[in-house]
Chains A and B, each alone.
Chain A
Amino acid sequence: MIIKTGAVMIKAGIMQSFAYRASGFLLMLLNNLLYLALIYFLWKGIFNSNNIELLNGMTFNQTLLYLGLAVALQPIVETYVIWQMSADILTGQISLHIVKPISYQTYLFFLMIGENLITTLVVFLPTFVIVYFLTNSFVVLSYNILLFVISILISIIINYLVGFIVGTFCLYVQSPAGLDNMRMIVVFLLSGAIIPIAFFPELLRSVVMLLPFQAIYNAPLQFLLSSGINLNEIIHTFANQLFWVIILYGLSKIIWSISIKKITVNGG
């Protein structure tokens, strides 16, 4: 039942993104490519000036691959749920969503999936191909691709839940820009999307591994990067990701049900 609802909504989400976002996709792709060029030259410079092969146990190709893929993953994983929520809250449109038999959280999730599916095709795939050739076909293409895809699906859920929890605070502070910036900086930095987690100082790294953010970018990337990943590591990564899904889902439900009582819808 919920699957059929999801299918219809995802389809509508895709159609909706086509109605508006055609130019948005091109800009997103262009942004990705510019950012890719930036990290290529930045890290090339760092490796060359120190004249080293290995930095914190990673070669240049591995670093570039890690960060390049993190960039490529952004359109799949990233969520605009905070903006959507704040628009709904500020305009009062939210009153129409919370009188539906489907929860607002589920509704927004399907909406996001539809849009992100398209960005996956139009933005992720081209970026991925470029990264693949830029790093001299360094990606190991075998069964780990399957693990990577499953891991990504869980990442999407985790990042969405983080977004939804932060978005709930739009009910208290009416500034989506501030909230979303804060979320982006925290997520990007602590998830390894800007600097590989392997480069963090020992202490920070052990703290970061206890937080949910590494499960967003770092976890799926591990499957693509480490060639000989063993069963134990696979189970550990998935268990960690699923643990955060459950915790964040519970947390988002609690915070939302407390906050919704605060709602006031003025002006009709």
Chain B
Amino acid sequence: MNEYKPTIGLEIHIQLDTKTKLFCGCSSQFGEKPNTHICPVCLGLPGALPVLNEKAVEYGIKLGLTLNMKINKESTFYRKNYFYPDLPKGYQITQYTIPIASEGFLEIKTEKGKRKISIQRGHIEEDSGKSIHTGDITESTYSYIDFNRSGVPLMEIVTYPDIETAEEAYHFLVLLRKTVRYLGVSSGDMEKGALRCDVNVSLSKSNTMGTKVEIKNLNSFRSIRKALEYEIKRQTEMLKNGEKTIHETRHFDEKTGATKPMRTKEELNDYRYFPEPDLPPLLLNETFIEDIKNSLPELPVQKEERFIRQYSLSDAYAYEIASSIELADYFESIAKATGKPKEVANFLMGSIMKFLNETEKTISEIDFDEKKFIEFLSLLEKGIISKGIAKEVIVESLKTGKSPKKIVEDKGLIQITDENKIEEIVQQVLKENPEAVSRYLAGKTQVLGFLAGQVMKKTKGKANPQIANKLLTEALNKIKQ
């Protein structure tokens, strides 16, 4: 047990999935040719005035409410001043004293049980442009700037230093990403920069807070977990050796899994925050907030719990299926149509997931609808196909789009239930495997599995396994006598 207790806080930037930017009508589409969605407002040209995007406000409220936060009926915008080429105005419009949402929590589930992580604030702000550096960042003479991202709306969520392990931080982020996807307010894709996270961590023996270290360059949830594990270990060792940790920003190196100090200035940044004179306070009325509250969808954890209750799914299946709204919707529509939620969950989490992973497709890209699922389950129930063949049928149908029935007919996959036919094969197998037979007779009954496997192999998986087992046992017992 670590005698030093880690204290972790997260700052998460979530890009809001609006069609246009926060303060101008430029498209906020990701991945376009550089500098094709720019205008005087997001380029910070003199005289251009910001006009707030209603959708961004709505999304901010949605997320705030979902994170159990208080929505402030009056919030204000501020200018955060700093000098950097990807910030054309020389300041970022953000919120400061009163953000749109404050004081909430998100309840996470870890191996150790449920825990509420408190959230301090959620504020709306604009993104900066993107700098591209050629070659070594410290040596190149020029930076290249793409302003397509300049002005894209962000919601920044700041937690209290309430997280105690790397594991908890990971679970918090996973659930937050799921939540924003459920709400449809953000893609949450870290690789596209739609979700970015900075981490603060300190260690302390007593209840007083230790010295805060900030970690940057965290490009995946895995990196965040690894960086935190590394940093907790590093700081523990330092403190154990009687050394002092210093207040600094460290850079995570994906390759080595280590954090390294970043070259930073000693003095604290003074952003000279002041109220944005071009934007009067944002006033929200109760009806606007209520309407949004009433439009909130069922959330991941609620859905998961309902799936366990309503469809008797296992905890693990319910968790996996509810992890994406598309998967959950697919499951539910098929479960309702077929009336067989357990079977649907089994095939969904088994063959279908395997196919999706292998082909890197999502559930919305496949064509295995209610009709096909019903047909497929009925083939199985009527004993027309065996369980082993069923997997083959599902994969073939996913690959070709053909109906399960057609596949069974075309490939001759109908289950063999004719006892005479199976008996014939059983006899063949026994003849070809005298060694296995004598081992069985010597009491090694587990070879039965091997022999049954041979029967299935000879029939290409088509023999009804129950019948095959029964006949095999009977035949062996006959020899015994």
Interaction A to B = no
